[in-house]
Amino acid sequence: MTGPLVRLSAWRARRRAKLGAEATGTEWPDGGIGAEAPIRTASEDRLRRADFAGRIAGVLSELSLREGRVFAIRGGWGFGKSSLKNLITERLDARGDGADWLDFNPWQWGDSDAIARALFGQIADRLGGEHSKTALARAEALRRYGAILTGAGAPLKAAGGSSHLISTMLTNASVIAVASAIGFDLPTAAKVAAALALLSVATPLLGRLLSHLGRDRGGEPLDKMRAALGVRLRELDRPLVAFVDDIDRLEPEQIRMLLRQVKANANLPNIVFVLLFQPSIVERALDPVADGDGRAFLEKVVQASFDLPAVPVSIVHRIFGEELSELAGPYAIEANGFSHTRWGNAFVGCIQPLLRNMRDARRLISSIAVHLPLHAAGDVFEVNIVDFLLLETLRVFEPDLHEALFRERELVLQERRFPGDGRRDADKAAAERLLEIVSEERRVIAQDALKDLFPPLEWAYGGTNYGDGFHLRWLTAKRVCSPRYFPRYFELQTAADEMSERRFVTFLDATKTEEGLAAAIADIEADGLLRSLVARFDESVDRLPAENAAVLLPGMFGIAEKLAGRRDVDPFNSPWHSAWRATSWFLKRVPVGVRGGLALEALRKTQALSVAAILIHLNDPARKEGEDAAFDPALDFDTVKAMKAEWLRLMRSRAADGDVLIAEPDLMSQLYRWREYAGSLDEAREWMVKAIRTDEGFASMATRMMNRGTRHSEGDRISAPHYTFDRKTIDDFIGIDVAKARCDAIDPTEFPEHEMALRKLHVSLEMWLGLRKHDQFNF
């Protein structure tokens, strides 16, 4: 009883597997990321091919064949051959008199022998029937069939490529397998199969013996078997249609072997092969065995062809547009850089021409679906949506150009350019070399894409020269041509020291309340993003909510004060400059009637002397005539006067409180402001005398008064630190002679923290007094 139980268990396992496969086949196809799956039902047919599929299903079902047929469904990659096949099988299942069918994909089976075994093994399975009395015999036949093919494969190849010999052997092997599957008991065939399996491990010389044995000993029984098999197959109520898909994905040798198998069995009654392939690929594979005329060879195998109906490119574009709208539509807003005009130009000029078929459309949609979430957070998009979609198009269809753009950052952004630098001709040549990466027929498209993505480079392609005034506009729009945003498009993430767009939007929402703003600033500072925040202020001042000025303005004062006097930054483009500049611009967006009061209140709340001094200076009508021809004050005279008074009050309060004032980040600048607002240097000098009365106080002041910079000599690869003192500052607040006497009296080694400043000051004082030769590098 053990044998039957084992066979019953095996049958149940096969049955469960088949039911699972059928259930899977009825599921909705995967249309998500990376999906190129063909459609499965007519309800998914967006190309209106269901009627065409129905006509083919009718042809296949009405056949009553004395001999088999080989049909072909022809079309290029991505044209929808597999989708059409699925529509045909759906119609076959729906017909009461529809043909039986099986779906075979040779691509998943590996080498040629495995493909052959799998194809006719599946035919044998289907012909045997799941509940027929020959089920056990069919399983045994599959084992025999495998032994025959693996035994015959190597010697056949070594025999010299005789197509007649190969066809004869394949026919004999297939007849044995198929006949066994539908109920024939073939002990002779089993012996032949076993003999063939043993001979397969012998030397190639046994190939001739194999042919001899097949001809002399097996020929007559196989002829009789074939005749008997034909009679049995003609008794079938309806034909069996074997769909063989993805032939054009096989290696050339595999294609040739598969078509020989099909040709060798094409005349079996009621067996119909429907081959799906791209003609040019299969014809090239057949050229070596057809004297260079693979097409003629293929015509001998295939009796009739169904050419896939062409899909109008307009339909491809429409479907792509619908899927793109569903995927990226929520981000197509002005805040993310979307404009109908620019998108229309980019879509029609640079994207549509590359979408030739549905596979192209699916590839691009899949790439967008993969990369879009890396830039999205809620309804906020970290980069410009149009630039993103254009770059994704290049990533999919011109990957070499996409990769080159990142390498050629300096070129495409035109960084470190200035008039007369002599780089114009070299840059123009480099820009042309970028286009040479692309095939000639696509260079116009690529050029249009580059001009759209990188306006600074447009001049190199005969376009516009853009001035510096456009850079802030590109920065605000999060364009790829902005140095700040360029890395985000290629590194697919916000840089470690950059604030994301999502976080900036969250910050703007927090400006509604003092508590919310204070918490947001504290979190940003803790994450080391304060510099990035003020850069966002500077480039996006129009986005700062003026209605929240009573809360936001003191916050901006406080943030700017934290950055004042920082010495580890570029003095001409520092976070401090961004902070006070953005604060000044933001004031102009606050209604005139309240801005003065809010500015004064912000100074009182924050005691931010540095930023207040800048705002007073920018709005003070007492500034010298001609200092700024574009004088455009945001604050009126009364507000400026009141802020000066409040500034002096705070300054004097700090001066009276021990060492509080000496900790001011930009102390020297504040001392000069004190002189300016008080009308005299006396108060500032008096405070200085008290501050340096001790040696420790003098050493500390030397450090505060020392200027730090860098110096680069010819031939150096890196800059060296450079320290200087301003003679006028020393003379105004201490006096040259007094400072020299104090330096002479102090041993610098007693103050390690200030030793370098004391020594540098001493050298400077001696040069100013003519006691030391002037250092030509000390400016």
Verify that 619 and 480 share a domain, yes or no.
no
The average pLDDT across 653-662 equals 85
Whether residue 613 is predicted with pLDDT greater than 90 in this model: the reply is yes
Q: What is the pLDDT of residues 168-193, one digit of tens each?
A: 555 555 555 555 555 555 555 445 44
Is the model more confident about 43 or about 70? 70
**pLDDT of res. 545:** 95
* 428 class by beta-carbon count within 10 Å (0-12 exposed, 13-18 middle, 19+ buried): middle
Instruction: List Cα–Cα distances, 568 to 565, 571, 708, 766, in angstroms.
Output: 9, 9, 9, 28
Whether residue 351 is predicted with pLDDT greater than 60 in this model: the reply is yes
Verify that 609 and 746 share a domain, yes or no.
no
Counting the structural domains of the chain, the total is: 4
Specify if 103 maps to a domain. yes
How much is the mean pLDDT over the chain? 80
**pLDDT of res. 570:** 56
Position 573 confidence tier, pLDDT thresholds 50, 70, 90: low
**pLDDT of res. 306:** 83
**pLDDT of res. 565:** 78
Is the model more confident about 177 or about 479? 479
Verify that 93 and 180 share a domain, yes or no.
yes
- Pairwise CA distance, residues 103 & 242, whole Å: 6
Q: pLDDT > 90: what percent of the chain?
A: 45
**pLDDT of res. 711:** 67
Q: What is the pLDDT of residues 283-316, one digit of tens each?
A: 999 999 888 898 998 888 888 888 887 778 888 8
Q: What is the pLDDT of residues 507-559, one digit of tens each?
A: 999 999 999 999 999 999 999 999 999 988 988 899 999 999 999 999 999 99
Domain stop point among 251, 272, 307: 307
Position 154 confidence tier, pLDDT thresholds 50, 70, 90: very low
Position 260 confidence tier, pLDDT thresholds 50, 70, 90: confident
Verify that 107 and 234 share a domain, yes or no.
yes
**pLDDT of res. 773:** 77
Angle at which helices 206-216 and 187-199 pack, to 10 degrees? 170
Specify if 673 maps to a domain. no
Strand partners, 241: 101, 272
The average pLDDT across 617-638 equals 77
- In sign, the C-alpha dihedral spanning 522, 527, 531, 535 is negative
Angle at which helices 135-158 and 2-25 pack, to 10 degrees? 80
**pLDDT of res. 693:** 93
Q: What is the DSSP letter of 464?
A: P
**pLDDT of res. 177:** 54
Position 210 confidence tier, pLDDT thresholds 50, 70, 90: very low
Position 736 confidence tier, pLDDT thresholds 50, 70, 90: very high
**pLDDT of res. 722:** 80
Whether residue 211 is predicted with pLDDT greater than 50 in this model: the reply is no
The average pLDDT across 619-637 equals 75
Is the model more confident about 619 or about 235? 619
Whether residue 427 is predicted with pLDDT greater than 60 in this model: the reply is yes
Q: Which amino acid is at 196?
A: L
**pLDDT of res. 553:** 97
Verify that 302 and 376 share a domain, yes or no.
no
**pLDDT of res. 756:** 94
- Pairwise CA distance, residues 758 & 764, whole Å: 10
Strand partners, 274: 71, 243
Verify that 302 and 320 share a domain, yes or no.
no
Domain stop point among 491, 515, 537: 491
Domain stop point among 491, 526, 542: 491
Verify that 253 and 339 share a domain, yes or no.
no
Specify if 95 maps to a domain. yes
Specify if 727 maps to a domain. yes
Verify that 199 and 335 share a domain, yes or no.
no
**pLDDT of res. 557:** 97
Verify that 778 and 648 share a domain, yes or no.
no
Specify if 37 maps to a domain. no
The average pLDDT across 74-78 equals 76
Residue 775 C-alpha from the chain's centroid: 54
Residue numbers of the domain that contains 703: 692-711+718-779
| β-strand pairing of 380-381 with 376-377 | antiparallel
Specify if 40 maps to a domain. no
